[in-house]
Chain A
């Protein structure tokens, strides 16, 4: 009975430690997207390079593709950009750019400087499509399957690690 006096606080402490330890392994910046497994929201936006032409996600039906949210003002976008360029060069997957809250001139200049890995970029000047996709900071990348369902969302830059461990295996599986 006397041992209980020591065991109870110790047990409570142990539970607390477990909870805090789990908490430490999670990044509070990474909010799980409620879109995983849901259809990519529809939109129609004009193209960055051709204001007269429009794009909507239905055009990609039957293909596995990436929707990459980027902007010329976005610092981390520069970090992931070489990876996107490399993916495009190797023809891994079609990447559609969602140019988010950016001036057309700045965006096209940025692509000229850093390379354009996109099949096309659409121009979301007021960020409305961004809101529809639950975007809260560029860059973000959505993996969308042949049926137009969002299968994965990368929050923050596409890192080599995320690419090798998550995105490439997922693309293989979706294409297979």
Chain B
């Protein structure tokens, strides 16, 4: 019973380390692993394209993690590591694509859509407001009906009532 509790405690203590595949290296260095984790979450696994290399178990992702680990150990900066990946796999490997001619539409379009949508909304609301506050223009047909009603007021019955 005691050993079971000890194993459980150990497993719980190790849980934060067990992101993906901590078994890849025998003695993970916490600092290196933390940096690797940060970088790996920004890099796309090209085999399973909607996963980062941190999340993926594909052989390529394992290789790229190993490569990243080696580069961290060699004292490379995060930018150098990202640059290394982009050089080989293109901008697509970055989950956050850089702003350049090819990606300008991608970056600018959402902003333009929001601004355009807001402008349209403001315009519409303003037009509705002016329509509501303006006095209703008299409809000639209705005027005629009202006039007829008033006229009808002098009908015999009403006149009789008035006489009483």
- Give per-residue flags for A117-132: 1 if the beta carbon is below 8 A from chain B beta carbons, else 0: 0000000001110111
Shortest C-beta distance, A4 to chain B (Å), equals 11
Residues of B within 8 A of A126 (CB): 63
* Chain A, 9-59, CB within 8 A of any chain B CB: 28-29, 31-35
A133 pairs with B88, CB closer than 8 A = yes
Q: Which residue of A lies closest to B59 (CB)?
A: A101
Residues of A within 8 A of B92 (CB): 31-32
* Interface size class, chain A: 10 to 19
> How many cross-chain pairs have Cβ atoms below 8 Å apart between A and B?
39
- Give per-residue flags for B54-97: 1 if the beta carbon is below 8 A from chain A beta carbons, else 0: 00000110011001000000000000000000111110100000
- Chain B residues with CB under 8 Å of chain A are 46-47, 49, 59-60, 63-64, 67, 86-90, 92
Shortest C-beta distance, A108 to chain B (Å), equals 21
Which one of A33, A134, A136 has the highest number of Cβ atoms from chain B below 10 Å of its Cβ?
A136
Known: A28-B49, A34-B87. 20 other contacts (CB 8 A): A31-B89, A31-B92, A34-B86, A34-B88, A34-B89, A34-B90, A127-B60, A127-B63, A128-B63, A128-B67, A130-B63, A131-B63, A131-B88, A132-B88, A133-B88, A134-B88, A134-B89, A134-B90, A136-B47, A137-B47
Between A and B, 21 residue pairs with Cβ closer than 8 Å are: A29-B49, A31-B46, A31-B89, A31-B90, A32-B92, A33-B90, A34-B89, A35-B88, A101-B59, A127-B63, A131-B63, A131-B64, A131-B88, A133-B88, A134-B88, A134-B89, A136-B46, A136-B60, A136-B89, A137-B46, A137-B47
In the A-B complex, list the 4 residue pairs whose CB atoms are closest, starting with the nearest.
A136-B46, A134-B88, A34-B90, A31-B92
Considering the chains assembled together, what is the distance between the CA atoms of A130 and B60 in angstroms?
Answer: 10
- Chain A residues with CB under 8 Å of chain B are 28-29, 31-35, 101, 126-128, 130-134, 136-137
